[in-house]
Every structure is written in structure tokens, then in C-alpha cells.
Structure 1
Amino acid sequence: MGDYGKIGELKAPNKTMSMVVLTMALVYNVIFGFIRNPAETDNTLSWLGYDYPHGFLMWGVLTAAAFFLNIIYLYKKFGYSGRVGTAFAIAAIFFMPGVVFINDWGWEQTAHLIATLIFIALNAIAILMFFIHNYKKHIKYRLTTFLVILILAGMIIVQFTLGKSGLLELVPLWLAMVLLFVSNFTSFYPVYPCDKAQKQKKKKVRTALKLACTLGVFGAHNLYMNRIYKGAGQLVMSITGIFLCLIPVIGMGYVNDISDGDAKVCIAAGISFLSGAAVWAARDIYRLKQLKSIENFD
């Protein structure tokens, strides 16, 4: 049955790829954050994204990929099943397009802030759940759990007392990436081989087929069967396609006058992404209808 049909038994991301993407994301976050003085209140990531939308798009891609790959790798390295945390890490990807593309005044600013808070919360909870799970096993886990909670609480308190600043947004991101790097690619935290993901029931094709028919373009059926990379690929394709189609309406940072040929190019690109996701889902539906069990689904 391979990697299919068991929740919590995901194929871990490639270690080298996870390390490379995390390093790229951390370096880019530091450099992008210092384009202007991050200590000033008007130099937040949102402001940088408004003034440099293409650079902000690069930031979003690297940051989302780094957190997703390394949270999943973290779970696999230490044998933590973490179904809820895994679901949160996957869900966080869904909100990053809202962080990057919806970044203007009025309702767009509100939507941008909501998407940003949800993205941060989902990833933070996914990481925190791992350390809470290992809390009693070693003092390093206990200290890290305490520090993570302290940093999150401090960030919230400062946010409501001193107001926004670039450093308030950037420092927690940097610390989270450093924590993931230390956890995944050093021997600082002890690994306990006895920790194994619990065995789960084999998932039936009937449920997967229903998901493919209703939410197939978003990769729901593949995520259900723990085909994480294919499911995430379909999800990213569909969300990207939707936002490309919406760019002529909602704009992108300071670019708000997309019309005529440029608007048609955006819509054409969006439709192409959506059509690719639709064909992919249709192919999966066809394959699922031919099968009696997930074991033969490739």
C-alpha cells in the first residue's frame, strides 16, 4: 500500500530540500526585512509588500514552503503522528495567497490582516504542539515550549501596547526558522525511537472519490490519502489560479490599475492554472472509479 491510506504516516520531505528551502527563506526574510529600517512603525512587512509586491510574492512563496516542508519533516524525524498539527501546516498554505495578494486599503487591508494572523497561528500551533507532545521527555523540550509560549505572548502584548513595527513581525519569523533548523538538522533535541505514529485505518476509495468529485481541484482527495505533495500541488495551482483571475479586481500592492491587455493576461494565466488543476482532478476521478481499493491508486 506504500504511502497511501494511513493518516499520520506521511512520506517525509527530502532532508536536503527542506534544509535548502529553509535557509533560502531565512536569508531572504532578513534581507527583505532590512530594505528599510524595520524598527520604524511604518516599515512592516505589509508596507514592504505594498511598495514591493513582486518581492513580497517571493517572500510568501519561500516562507510558506519553508514552514510546510520543515514542520512535516520535523514530525517525521521525531516519529510524531500529529494529525492536527499536520492539518494546520497544510491549511496554512491556503492562507498565504491572501497574505501576499490582498494587500491594500479598506476591506483588503482587513482581509490581509486576517489571513496573516491565521497563517501565523496555524504554523505556530503546529510547531508548539510538537514540543508540548515531548514536554515531559527532556528538559530541552520543556524550556523550548516555555520560550515559544513566552515569545508569542510577548509579541501579542507588544502589538497591543506599543503598536506595529517591522521587527515585531520579523523577529518571531526568524526565531521560528532558526528553531526549525536546529530541530531538524542538528542533534540538539534527543530523538526517541520508541515514538511511532499510530497505525490508522485504511481509507476507502468511496470517500476519496466523493472528495475528488467535490473538492478535487483543491487536492482534497490526495490530502485525505496522505499524498501530501500531490494534494498541496493541486491546492497551490487552484488558489494561484483564483487569485490571478482576481488580480484585475483586487490589485496587487500598489498596482491597482490592471486593465485591458494586462488584465486579460492575468485572467488567461489564472484560467490555465485552474484548467490544469481540473484536468488533474478529472484524471484522479477516473482512476478512482476503476479501483476497488486505494492500494492500486498511483
Structure 2
Amino acid sequence: MGRTFSLSRRAFLGGAGVMVSLPLLEAMLPTRQAEAGGSAGPKYLLAWYVPNGIHMAGWTPPDTGPGFTLTPILQPLAALQSEILVISGLDNAPSESEGPGDHASGTSGFLTCTHVTKSESTITNGTSMDQVYAEHIGDQTVVPSLQLGIEGGGNSGGCDSGYSCAYSRNISWVGNTPLSKLTSPSTAFELLFAGFDPGATAQELAQRKTNRLSVLDYTMDDAAALRAKLGTSDRVKLDEYLDSVRDLEIKVETDDAVPQCDPGTIPGDPGDITDHVRLMCDVMVKAFECDRTRVISFMLGNAGSNRSYGFLG
């Protein structure tokens, strides 16, 4: 029997000052695609920047082809080896610096493959590969692209041998404009799953924050009405999605890795970095799993960061 209820891919659950995005349901697919039992599915892009680089001897497989030997760094991905393609021998030559300033030039050209201008005020770059991809598929999701990171900081001034801080702190660019990243897991979560409702009053938003109520509590009536219209498989998917969003929200609210520093103290690192990274990973996984965005760039740290990694010994 053909499907009688269809749903926009941009549909959301609504409540008092809150919008909660929905996962990809069969009701959102063209009828023939849904009845065919699925397709190859959407393609996702995650660009992960490591400021300290990778120990290539522990990363690059010593052989090629199917069944390649997993190196120590890749070993945790053993269960997914058949789906992994490791590309070696590439050289992002245009991003190389002209003397001092390797950190800034390498970071800014990481995804643009562009030789940037060495200046603290004149910013020139190209469009990064994640934004090229987002330009083509960004209109298919609620959030066209998501820029995340562990360390923040502004773009003005100089951060590395005459290079602007914009070069050191951004890997996503549209032409000469850097796309600033979110460093708070809770802020990223709010953007992905709760949205920003311009119709919400300050009192509604303050009440939710004060009472620490789940965003889902405001949407239960809407969710119940939608559930009654969905098929069996979509109902199960909706329930699992709402449960997972609630679990992630609770985790983020109780363990936000970017707390406020006490007045008068010297600002330190924003919480434990390992927990911060894990929270960000949770948010990224859920963003893809629920098809909220298909393009993410993530900076494990800024270029030329003074962060120490004491847990490494």
C-alpha cells in the first residue's frame, strides 16, 4: 500500500520558544525511494584538523590495496577497515609558508590549498573544500555546515610571525572570509537540535534555562500528533531519536566543557580537554546520524597553541 502521509525534510517539532529538528524519516523520502527499501543514503564530510600534526610512521600503511596493514594509529578502526581508504603522497604545496609562520599558513590553507598573504590586516584566502561541498548540498539540511573547535579566540591581530590570527584559528573559509567555529558543545547542540526561534520571548528562554527543562518537554504534544501520522518504522525511529537527543542534552547540560571562569582569576583551559573533545564528538556523531548537517569542520586546537597535553606523560 502506498504511503498516505508525507513530511517535509525541513519539518520540526514546535513548542514554547523551541524548535526541535527531526531525523530523516521514510515519510520525508520520495515514495518510490522509501518503498524500495532505502538507497545509498546521503554522503557526509568531516574535516578534522590536528594542530600538532600526525606521526606519519604510525599512520601511513606500509602496503596498498584491500586488506592493507593497519598501523597503530589506525588500529582502532579495524572493524571498519573495508570501508576505509587511506590516501598517501599528497602535498599541499600552496599552503607552505615563506619562512617563519608555518603554523598559520598551513592551517589557513589546510582545506583551501591556497597560499595566503602574510599580513596581520590584509586577509586573502580561497574557499575551503568543506564549503565547496556545502554549496552543493547544504540546502538539503537544517544546518548547511557546522564549524567546531576546542579553542576559540578572535580573528584580529597577529598570532604567528606576522600572520593574522584569522589564519591560525580557522580552517573553513568562503573566499577571504573565515567562518568562525563554535567551541561550546551546548551551543552546538542548541544550534543543531533546538534551533533559534525568533518568536521566543526572553521570559520563555529564561524559564527554560532556569528550570533546566529538556527542550523536548516543550514539544511533547507536537511529537504525539506527529507520531499518530507515521508508519511503524518511522514511529520507532522517532522514539529512538527523541531518546538519544534527550540523553545527549542531559550529558551536555551536566558536563559543559566550556565553563565560566571566576571573576578576577587568570582564565585557564576551558575544562578537561579529553572530556571537551568527547562531548564535541558526541555532538558531531548525532549531527550526522540525525542528518542535521552533512558538512563539519573540526579543529582539535588552534595553530601555534600553547596548550599542554599532560595526560600524554
Considering the TM-score relative to the shorter chain, is it more than 0.5?
Answer: no
Q: Considering only CA atoms, is the larger Rg found in Structure 1 or Structure 2?
A: 2
> Whose helix proportion is higher, 1 or 2?
1
State the TM-score, normalizing by the size of structure 2.
0.28
